[in-house]
Each structure stands twice: as C-alpha cells, then as structure tokens.
C-alpha cells in the first residue's frame, strides 16, 4: 500500500473488561509505529449497542480496518504485534524500526 | 430465618403453545430460564427453536428474538414461510428480531490474542430491550464451537449468556448438536454448564422407518412427564407432540344404547352398542367388515347423527358403489352433510401424521360416530412400536370425544387368527365382533359372534349370516359345528351332540 495513506481503524470494545484496555494499549503501539499515519476510533458498544448490531460484532474486542481497502476484521486483544500487522496487510518492511521477527 | 419458597417463587412455566409439548412438560418451558434442546442432524431443532417464538407471537402476543449462528436470516425467513410463519412481516411489526451471527456474517475475521463474546451479549440484550421480548432462541451451539477453536472459552462465555438471559427474565431455548441418538447429551458437553433443563429430540431409523421422539431429560426443580413421546413435523403446524402415556382414562361411559344399523345385530348385543364405546370388528378379507361399517354409518345417519369414515383400503368410488349395492346412498348422506368420507392410502403419511389428520377432522366435523376401515391397513406404515402408540392414541382420543367408534381389523389368514391390530386394541375396545369363514360340506359360509360386550349381557352364539342387496342378515346359530373361532371348523357327529346333551342335562 501507499506508505503515505492514513490507516483508519475502528476498535469495538466493551468498556468494562481488562481485555479492552489491553487492546487499546496494543493499538497505541501501532499508532506510534505509524507516526501519526494511523487514526483509531474506539467505540464502547455498551453505550452504542446499535453500532455493534450494524457491524455484526460477535466477539470483543474487534478491530475493523476501514481504510485503505480491503476491509479487515481482527478479533482479540491484539497482543501479537507481528500477527496484527500481517492481518492489517502491513509487511514488516513497512516499519521503520524492524522487529526482525520471522513472519 | 429462611422460609419455604412461596408458590410464585418456585419454578413457574411458560406455556409454549407447541401442540402436545406443554402437556409432556406439564406446563411448558421453565419461565425465565434457559432450556437446552439437543438433537442429531435433522431432528427438527431449528424448527423447534423457531416455533417456540412463532407460537409466542401467535398465541400469547409475546415477542421473540432469534439468535442464529448457522443459517442466515434470509434462509430462515424463506424456509419457515411454508409452516405459515410470516417472519418478515413480524419483523416489520416489531414482534420478531434476528441477531445474525451466522458464519456468513463474520466469515473474514482473523484472531489475534484473546477475546470474549461481549459483542454477542450486548447485541442480544439490545435486541431484547428493543422489542421487549419475552422469548429468545439461540440456534445452534455446534456452529459456535466449530468456529471458535477454544472450547473452554466458549463454555465460559455461554455461561455468561445464560446468566444475562436469566437476569433479563426471558425464557430461552438453546439448541445443540448430538452425534448419536443414544449417547452423550451433546457433542460439546455444554449441558452441565449452561442449562438446568435439557430436552432431547430424536430421529431414529428403525426397521427402515423414521421415528421422531421428544424426551424431557431434566427439568431442575420441577416436574415433567418421563420417557420418549412421538412427534411429527407437519407442513402447516410445525412440530406436534403426541402425548400418549399422559392420556387419562377419565372418559365418562354412558349406558345409552345406539343402533348398530342392523336390528339383528342389535339383538345379539343385548340392545345395540353403547353410545360412548369402541367396537372392534375382526375378520378375514371379504367376510363383511366393510358392510358392517357401512350399516353402522347408515344407522347413525338414519338416527339424525353425524358420521365420519376413515377408509384406508378402498377408494371413494369403491366404497360408494359397495354401499349402493347394499341399498345405502352415501352420496345423498354426504350432500346432506351427515356423512364425511376420508380416504387415504396408508403409505401417504406417517402414523403420527395420520393421527393428526384424524384428530383435525374429528375436531372439525364433530361426528357422533366415527369408523375406521380398516385400522390394520396402517400396520405396515410404521414399526410395531409406533403402530401400538398410534392405536392407543386413536382409541383414547375417540373415547375422550364421547362418541361411538368402530374399527375393523383384517385377520392375517382367511380362517381367522389375530392380527397385530387386535393384539394392541382388544383390551381398549368395549365390544368385539368376530366375522369368520366356515367351511362346511365343501361350502364356504359366514359366521358372526359377539365375543365381548363390556357392561352388558349379550348372545354368545356363533350365528350364520348372509349378505344380499339389502345388507347383512343374521340367521340361526351353528349347532353342530365346533372349532369355528380356532379357524378349524368341523362337524360334530349327531350322536356326539346327544352325548353332550346327556352330560349337561339337569338332573
């Protein structure tokens, strides 16, 4: 993908669980890697259940990559960064500070 | 000090409206709880889950939420319209809401790290609140297990869902797959975690015939009927459970007599049949069972009664032609609305379906007399066990209507013997009439005897009868023939008769 394009992510959580906090923290790290090229919206579905229904959220946390296409949905607390980046179509080469982990 | 729970604090039940189910469960599903409905593939789990909501809307104005893990809402709407459940319309009216968690909806998800079913729970709760639902169905567990490869997680999350449903005070049904009909309750061993109540649906292949049954395995804290009950799925009603052993013998019996339609037979019976009785007519093919049935119906119509005939052996045309041959006009009786003839080939439906048709027609036509010609034709449709249940079901239903019933049974051999039908039915009937062929001096003659007449004196003779264009004529008893009922008649020599007479001559 074009490195200059801004990554738009939406994270659906239920506010009251440790997993939600974990997922938010893990996303913050990704944001740092992308140096501001990554927008994250966090939605608490306890407050907005109609959005959970609209997006057909089953598990929480669920991360949805809205832009750029293709649309991706990732379920879990995002604790494995390599896996996460792969799932977002971000190769390790894209990162400035390579994690040097085998993919 | 802790006190005993009051009546209202104990488990109360929600009548589901599913025919027969509320009887078997002694009132319905435990209110405010989750009931696991487990069954193998094709055991009608989804139909049950849908019907639970549909009957709520139709019969008690209760709204429902359907959580689907497997089929898409579109498929369900389409498949269920044939049962007469307009789901799409109910959705528009705010009576029905889908929570779509089918595979299709989340096919592209990847998993990174740990998660819970928070999204699902929030959506279910939201849906319940939105339409103020009282009933919830979740179909089915197997689909979640095969999708989420962490069984422990699925179990603990299901427990959360069950707790959430309980807290919202909705009554719910959760379906689960089984791999064998008689084995572990469900494939994933969830029953002990999620449900206080377990119902098993079976679809057993027995002697090349399918037999559906339903069993309440456990109902924590409340009573239910034990054992398996047959059920069927009909196109216009969905699942219908047939509560057999639950039938009570509480029918009244009256000593009011009605004519059998044949004055001579009435005389043999001590003045006719009883009004609320069931008569079994047994005989080989061609002995005159259909004639006796025809006269029984004509006698009713003559008396101003309504009569219903279920014919499983002969076509309408044949039956009407037969009747005409004996001087009875079925056509006119039907035009006048006094008679209804229902012909069906035994093989066109399962025994359970036949039973439901019979009940429906009796409820609709409200006859004073009902006849089955012959009941034994249905023997070949099901297994011996299901035939037995069918016979019990029919007899007890007829008895509850407090109408006169006449069944015919065809004996397996020309000279007599007992059919399966007789073995099952003879203790349930009030009267038994035997028709037999008697071979005498190289000639076939016909014999009739009243074997049993509950609550009345009757003639014990074995009488000869003949058939002509006026019907049946009962003549004199066979005097010097013995062994008719055993199917082995032979003449007793005259001097032997005299010797017997001597023997019993009063001193």
Q: Is B469 in the active site?
A: no
Query: How many angstroms away from the CA of A74 is the closest CA of chain B?
Result: 5
**Is residue A13's pLDDT more than 90?**
yes
Of B241, B268, B297, which residue constitutes the final position of a domain?
Answer: B241
Structural tokens at position B274: 């009883």
Q: Rounded to whole angstroms, what are the CA distances from B500 to B118, B485, B497, B506?
A: 92, 20, 5, 12
Q: Which residues contact B43 (CB under 8 A, 6 or more apart)?
A: B178, B201, B202, B203, B212
Same domain, B291 and B414: yes
Task: Report the distance separating Cα B344 and Cα B463, nearest Å.
Answer: 33
State which residues form the domain around B35: 13-241
Q: Chain A residues with CB inside 8 Å of B105's CB?
A: 56, 58
Domains of chain A: 7-88 (3.40.30.10)
Of B241, B271, B286, which residue constitutes the final position of a domain?
Answer: B241
Same domain, B286 and B398: yes
Look at A73-77, B339-343, B415-419 and tell me which has the smallest mean pLDDT: B415-419
Tell me whether residue B250 is in a domain. Answer: no
Of B241, B274, B292, which residue constitutes the final position of a domain?
Answer: B241
Confidence of residue B88 (pLDDT cuts 50, 70, 90): very high
Task: Report the distance separating Cα B298 and Cα B263, nearest Å.
Answer: 12
Same domain, B85 and B32: yes
B117 vs A: CB within 8 A: yes
Same domain, B221 and B367: no
Same domain, B232 and B310: no
Q: What is the pLDDT of residue B60?
A: 92
Q: What percent of chain B has pLDDT over 90?
A: 39
> What CATH number is attached to the domain comprising B407?
3.40.50.300
Look at B89-98, B200-209, B316-325, B478-487 and tell me which has the smallest mean pLDDT: B478-487
Q: What is the pLDDT of residue B134?
A: 96
Catalytic one among B70, B157, B352, B464?
Answer: B70
Q: What is the pLDDT of residue A99?
A: 45
B110 vs A: CB within 8 A: yes
Q: What is the mean pLDDT of residues B48-69?
A: 95
Q: How many CB atoms lie within 10 A of CB B470?
A: 9
Average pLDDT, chain B: 85
- Per DSSP bridges, beta strands B369-373 and B307-311 are parallel
Same domain, B181 and B67: yes
- Point out which residues pair with B38 in neighbouring strands: B176, B200
Q: What is the DSSP letter of B332?
A: H
**Rounded to two decimals, what is the model's pTM?**
0.74
B119 vs A: CB within 8 A: yes
Catalytic one among B313, B352, B379, B422?
Answer: B313
Q: By the 8 A CB rule, do B468 and B479 touch?
A: no
If one counts the domains in chain B, the total is 2
Confidence of residue B59 (pLDDT cuts 50, 70, 90): very high
**Is residue B58's pLDDT more than 90?**
yes
Q: What is the pLDDT of residue A98?
A: 42
Q: Which residues contact A79 (CB under 8 A, 6 or more apart)?
A: A22, A26, B112, B113, B114
* More reliable by pLDDT, B93 or B113: B93
B113 vs A: CB within 8 A: yes
Same domain, B234 and B379: no
**Is residue B195's pLDDT more than 90?**
no
B67 vs A: CB within 8 A: no
**Is residue A97's pLDDT more than 60?**
no
Look at the block and give the residue holding tokens 């059919």.
B419
Q: What is the mean pLDDT of residues B137-166?
A: 85
Structural tokens at position A47: 């407050």
Tell me whether residue B247 is in a domain. Answer: no
Query: How many angstroms away from the CA of A86 is the closest CA of chain B?
Result: 10
Q: Is B502 in the active site?
A: no
Burial (CB count within 10 angstroms: exposed 0-12, middle 13-18, buried 19+), residue B5? exposed
């Amino acid at each position: 993908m074009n490195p200059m394009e801004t990554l738009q992510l939406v994270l659906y959580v239920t506010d009251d669980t440790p997993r939600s906090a974990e997922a938010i923290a893990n996303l913050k790290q990704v944001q740092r890697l992308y140096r501001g090229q990554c927008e994250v919206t966090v939605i608490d579905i306890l407050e907005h259940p109609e959005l959970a229904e609209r997006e057909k959220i089953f598990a929480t946390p669920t991360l949805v990559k809205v832009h750029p296409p293709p649309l991706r949905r990732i379920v879990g607390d995002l604790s494995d960064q390599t896996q996460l980046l792969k799932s977002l179509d971000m190769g390790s080469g894209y990162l400035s500070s390579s994690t040097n982990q085998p993919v | 000090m802790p006190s005993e729970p009051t009546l209202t604090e104990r488990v109360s039940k929600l009548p589901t409206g599913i025919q027969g189910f509320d009887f078997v469960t002694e009132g319905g599903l435990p209110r405010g709880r989750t009931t696991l409905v487990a069954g193998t593939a094709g055991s009608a789990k989804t139909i049950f889950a849908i019907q639970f909501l549909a009957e709520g809307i139709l019969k008690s104005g209760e709204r429902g939420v359907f959580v689907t893990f497997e089929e898409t809402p579109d498929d369900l709407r389409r498949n269920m319209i044939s049962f007469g459940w307009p789901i799409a319309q109910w959705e528009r009216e705010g009576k029905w809401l889908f929570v779509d968690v089918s595979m299709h909806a989340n096919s592209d998800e990847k998993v990174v790290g740990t998660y819970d079913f928070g999204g699902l729970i929030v959506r279910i709760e939201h849906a319940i609140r939105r339409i103020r639902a009282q009933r919830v169905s979740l179909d089915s567990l197997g689909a979640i297990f095969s999708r989420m490869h962490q069984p422990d997680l699925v179990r603990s999350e299901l427990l959360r869902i069950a707790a959430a449903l309980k807290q919202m005070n909705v009554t719910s049904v959760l379906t689960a797959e089984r791999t064998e009909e008689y084995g572990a309750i469900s494939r994933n061993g969830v029953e002990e975690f999620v449900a206080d109540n377990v119902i098993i649906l079976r679809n057993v292949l027995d002697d090349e015939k399918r037999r559906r049954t339903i069993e309440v395995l456990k109902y924590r804290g409340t009573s239910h009927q034990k054992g398996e009950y047959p059920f069927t799925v009909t196109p216009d009603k969905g699942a219908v459970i047939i509560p057999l052993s639950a039938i009570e013998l509480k029918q009244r019996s009256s000593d009011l007599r009605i004519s059998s339609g044949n004055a001579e037979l009435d005389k043999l019976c001590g003045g006719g049949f009883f009004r609320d009785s069931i008569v079994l007519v047994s005989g080989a093919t061609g002995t005159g069972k259909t004639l006796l049935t025809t006269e029984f119906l004509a006698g009713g119509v003559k008396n101003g009664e309504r009569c219903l005939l279920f014919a499983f052996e002969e076509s309408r045309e044949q039956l009407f032609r037969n009747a005409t041959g004996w001087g009875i006009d079925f056509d006119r009786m039907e035009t006048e609305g006094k008679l209804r003839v229902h012909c069906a080939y035994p093989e066109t439906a399962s025994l359970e379906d036949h039973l439901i048709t019979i009940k429906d027609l009796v409820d609709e036509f409200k006859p004073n007399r009902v006849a089955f010609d012959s009941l034994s034709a249905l023997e070949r449709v099901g297994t011996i066990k299901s035939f037995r249940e069918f016979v019990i079901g029919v007899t007890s239903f007829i008895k509850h209507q407090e109408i006169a019933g006449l069944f015919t049974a065809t004996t397996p051999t020309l000279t007599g013997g007992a059919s399966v039908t007789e073995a099952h039915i003879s203790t349930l009937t009030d009267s038994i009439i035997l028709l037999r062929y008697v071979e005498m001096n190289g000639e076939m003659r016909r014999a009739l005897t009243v074997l049993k007449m509950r609550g009345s004196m009757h003639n014990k003779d074995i009488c000869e009868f003949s058939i002509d264009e006026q019907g049946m004529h009962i003549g004199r008893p066979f005097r010097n023939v013995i062994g008719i009922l055993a199917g082995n008649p032979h003449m007793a020599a005259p001097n032997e008769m005299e010797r017997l007479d001597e023997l019993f001559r009063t001193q």
